[in-house]
Amino acid sequence: MAFAVLASTAPSTTSAPSSDPVARRRSPVALFLLLPGILYLVLFFLTPLVSLLLTSFQAPREFGDIGQYDYAFRWQNYVEVVTTYWPHIVRSFSYALAATFFALLISYPLAYFIGVKARRWPLLQSLMLVLVIAPFFISFLLRTLAWKQLFSDESYVVQSLKALSLLAPEAHVTGTAFSVIFGLTYNFIPFMTLPLYTTLERLDVRYLEAGNDLYASPFQVFRKVTIPLSMPGIVAGTLLTFIPAAGDYINASRDFLGGTGTQMMGNVIEANFLVLQNFPAAAALSILLMTVILVIVGIYIKRSGTEELL
Amino acid sequence: MKLSLGKWLLPVYSALALLFLMIPIGYTFVYSFNDSHKSNITWQGFTFDKWLNVCNVQNGVVCQAFGNSLFIGAVATVIATTLGTMIAIALVRYRFKFRSQTSLLLFLPMATPEVVLGAGLAAQFLSIGVPKDMLTIILAHTMFCISFVVVTVKARVASLDPALEEAGRDLYGSAVQVFARITFPLLLPGILAAALLSFALSFDDFIITNFNSGAVTTFPKYIYISAARGIPAEANVLASAVFILALVVVVTVQVSGAARARRLAKLS
């Protein structure tokens, strides 16, 4: 998935040559090239979304079995899921926000070191990048389980924390909001670091020197020069962390780092769809999740002035 | 003294951050040598057995799930890479109507949470009565891989000098010849990168798979199902083997890329 992150940050840099009028022409070949892929996305991405929207308004079939629904316009489904699952909705977005914040805090200095300070040593730079994407080469679920076991009550980590009285004797680490946010932060650090790295790697250090020459303190240079110049990376990284984190249900799952009090929207969508067969509720929650995310993404991209990312 | 502390702060921090990223990987690798029986949670002693008899546990269920993942990844990669490469070439090289709508359609799947993609497809398969099996997983994986292929290959097409293809046409090369002898070979590194990416995305996907797999078990789904009652060390063996293989591939690509860059630098 590492390359995914690299790839998704690429378009902003490579759009220039395509505006070349010589290179672009109209031709029926274009249609032939586009049609199969676009048709595929219409069939397996767009229509499923429509189907999800229709499902979200379905009503239970009269005298039907569990899991039998008919098309209707039952907008009450939305009211019901919000009143039933509002804690999960709040948790999803607050956990995702917290994880995004911590991931940014941890990733920025790391990306700065790899992208700016390590430029003199290309081998070190590429080695560090390989280490950043290394987690993608091993199952996401196994990595999360590894943390669960490292944080279990019998583990050395928890035992020593308790011995040092840093943790109450009866306290648990797994199953808490802390461990879910921890897991989300850990799992999405590479998604944050890579886009930050791609912008910081292109940062012209002469701007920083100019700031120093103009008697700015290192902090002022960082705040007024480095941060604004790395904004595209910050926006890309925070979105690549926030979106999947808000929809994630592995970390919050009871078998992984979560507990009964930490379930997120993804968990209830999964439970309603695959276990309870309450398809309209699952669909309504999915539509809500997607709408909120699209609104947040839209506002965020507009406010930060990075529309060209699209 | 203060100066040297400031100088070392960032490198030391970076090393610690990378170490933090490696902890669960190291844990998974170490526990692939655990002489465990049912669950692989407490350390029981060192053994090579799990590596030597990977497929013997639980009548080979782990290996079957692993094989399913390889098969699904391979098929989805071939389809997604073909469709995505075609779109990428069209986007960079041709003018057409509905261009911004096309870009939006390609961007949206990447900005949609996986749980929504998964539930959407599952709702569609349910409403038209398609049973969930291997085919529905492949259809789902191909869908989310296409966009990533497009962005990866697009960067490569954009960096390709159109003059090279024009030279081919000037020398009376047919459209097919120009594509086969010039465009395709020059795009190949980008296409290969996109294929690797697709495969990695498909292989590690759990959320979308879980909604569209029915009774078929993939490797991540196997881990999810078994998480409650304990995962055999054999799963750690397979994951560690994939990790080592992927690391070797990436390091080789990096080293050969650096060597080629040096050769090119020498030439010019």
Question: Under an 8 A CB cutoff, do A44 and B162 touch?
Answer: no
Flag whether A146 is in a domain.
Answer: yes
Flag whether A229 is in a domain.
Answer: yes
Q: Count the neighbouring beta carbons within 10 Å of the beta carbon of residue B48.
A: 11
- pLDDT of residue A225 exceeding 70, the answer is yes
pLDDT at B264 (0 to 100): 76
3-state helix, strand, coil in chain A (%, to 5): 75, 0, 25
Flag whether A274 is in a domain.
Answer: yes
Name the residue facing B94 among A25, A136, A248 (closest C-beta).
Answer: A25
Summary mean pLDDT of chain A: 87
Instruction: Say which residue, B261 or A183, is predicted with more confidence.
Output: A183
Q: Write out the two tokens for B100.
A: 């911004």
Residues A194/A197/A199/A204 CA torsion (nearest 10 deg): -170
pLDDT at B4 (0 to 100): 63
pLDDT at B5 (0 to 100): 67
Question: Under an 8 A CB cutoff, do B10 and A112 touch?
Answer: yes
Residues 6 or more apart whose CB falls under 8 angstroms from that of A114 comprise A125, A128, A129, A132, A193, A197, A200, A201, B14
Flag whether A98 is in a domain.
Answer: yes
- pLDDT-based confidence at residue B52 (cuts at 50, 70, 90): confident
Q: Count the neighbouring beta carbons within 10 Å of the beta carbon of residue B249.
A: 12
pLDDT digit string, tens, across residues A81-137:
999 999 999 999 999 999 999 999 999 999 999 999 999 988 899 899 999 999 989
A269 contact B CB<8A: yes
Which three-class secondary structure state does DSSP give residue A77?
helix
CA A187 to CA B23: how far, in whole Å? 12
User: What amino acid is encoded at A81 in this protein?
Assistant: V
Number of domains in chain A: 1
A36 contact B CB<8A: yes
Q: Supply the range of the domain harboring residue A293.
A: 86-309
Give the residue among B107, B141, B104, B102 at the shortest CA–CA distance from B121.
B141
- pLDDT of residue A2 exceeding 60, the answer is no
Query: Are the CB atoms for B54 and B238 separated by under 8 Å?
Result: yes
Residues B82/B88/B94/B96 CA torsion (nearest 10 deg): 90
B75 contact A CB<8A: no
Which CATH number covers residue A217? 1.10.3720.10
Q: What is the pTM of this model?
A: 0.88
Kindly list the residues from chain B whose CB atom is less than 8 angstroms away from the CB atom of residue A266.
113, 115, 207
Flag whether A120 is in a domain.
Answer: yes
pLDDT at A43 (0 to 100): 95
pLDDT digit string, tens, across residues B104-122:
999 899 889 999 999 999 9
Flag whether A37 is in a domain.
Answer: no
Q: Which of B94, B229, B238 to mutate to test the interface with A (most CBs of A within 10 A)?
A: B94
CA B25 to CA B241: how far, in whole Å? 12
Mark which residues 6-35 of A lie under 8 Å from B by CB.
Answer: 7-8, 10-11, 13-18, 20, 22-27, 29-31, 33-34
Report the pLDDT averaged over residues B73-95. 94
Name the residue facing A34 among B96, B113, B206 (closest C-beta).
Answer: B96
Flag whether A44 is in a domain.
Answer: no
Q: Write out the two tokens for B70.
A: 């390889």
Q: What proportion of chain A, given as a percentage, has pLDDT over 70?
A: 90
pLDDT digit string, tens, across residues A14-57:
344 444 444 567 788 888 999 999 999 999 999 999 999 999 99
Whole-number CA gyration radius for chain A: 23
pLDDT digit string, tens, across residues A46-81:
999 999 999 999 988 888 777 788 888 888 999 999
- pLDDT-based confidence at residue A306 (cuts at 50, 70, 90): low
Name the residue facing B151 among A11, A139, A144 (closest C-beta).
Answer: A11
Q: What proportion of chain A, given as a percentage, has pLDDT over 90?
A: 59
The strand pairing partners of A60, in sequence order, are A69
Query: Are the CB atoms for B193 and B207 separated by under 8 Å?
Result: no
Kindly provide the ipTM of the predicted complex, given to two decimals: 0.89
Residues 6 or more apart whose CB falls under 8 angstroms from that of A152 comprise A158, A173, A174, B41
DSSP string for residues in A179-224: HHHHHHHHHHHHHHHHHHHHHHHT--HHHHHHHHHTT--HHHHIII
Q: How many CB pairs under 8 A join A and B?
A: 302
CA B135 to CA A95: how far, in whole Å? 35
Which three-class secondary structure state does DSSP give residue B217?
coil
Kindly list the residues from chain B whose CB atom is less than 8 angstroms away from the CB atom of residue A22.
162
Kindly list the residues from chain B whose CB atom is less than 8 angstroms away from the CB atom of residue A244.
113-114
Q: Write out the two tokens for A72.
A: 């209707």
Mark which residues 165-194 of B lie under 8 Å from A by CB.
Answer: 193-194
User: What amino acid is encoded at B72 in this protein?
Assistant: I
pLDDT at A248 (0 to 100): 94
- pLDDT of residue A188 exceeding 90, the answer is yes
CA A24 to CA A34: how far, in whole Å? 15
pLDDT at A307 (0 to 100): 57
Report the pLDDT averaged over residues A296-310. 73
pLDDT at B47 (0 to 100): 84
Question: Under an 8 A CB cutoff, do A1 and B120 touch?
Answer: no
Instruction: Say which residue, B223 or A13, is predicted with more confidence.
Output: B223
DSSP string for residues in A286-302: HHHHHHHHHHHHHHHHH
Q: Which of A3, A22, A93, A112 to mutate to test the interface with B (most CBs of B within 10 A)?
A: A3
pLDDT digit string, tens, across residues B25-39:
999 999 999 888 777
The single residue listed with the structure tokens 């098929």 is B75
- Helix then strand count (H, E) for chain B reads 12, 0
CA B180 to CA B170: how far, in whole Å? 16
Which three-class secondary structure state does DSSP give residue A59?
strand
Flag whether A66 is in a domain.
Answer: no
pLDDT at A8 (0 to 100): 42
Q: Write out the two tokens for B109.
A: 């799947």
- pLDDT of residue A162 exceeding 60, the answer is yes
CA A137 to CA B229: how far, in whole Å? 25
CA A262 to CA A283: how far, in whole Å? 21
Whole-number CA gyration radius for chain B: 23
Kindly list the residues from chain B whose CB atom is less than 8 angstroms away from the CB atom of residue A190.
21
- pLDDT of residue B2 exceeding 70, the answer is no
Residues A167/A170/A175/A176 CA torsion (nearest 10 deg): -50
- pLDDT of residue A285 exceeding 80, the answer is yes
- pLDDT of residue A292 exceeding 90, the answer is yes
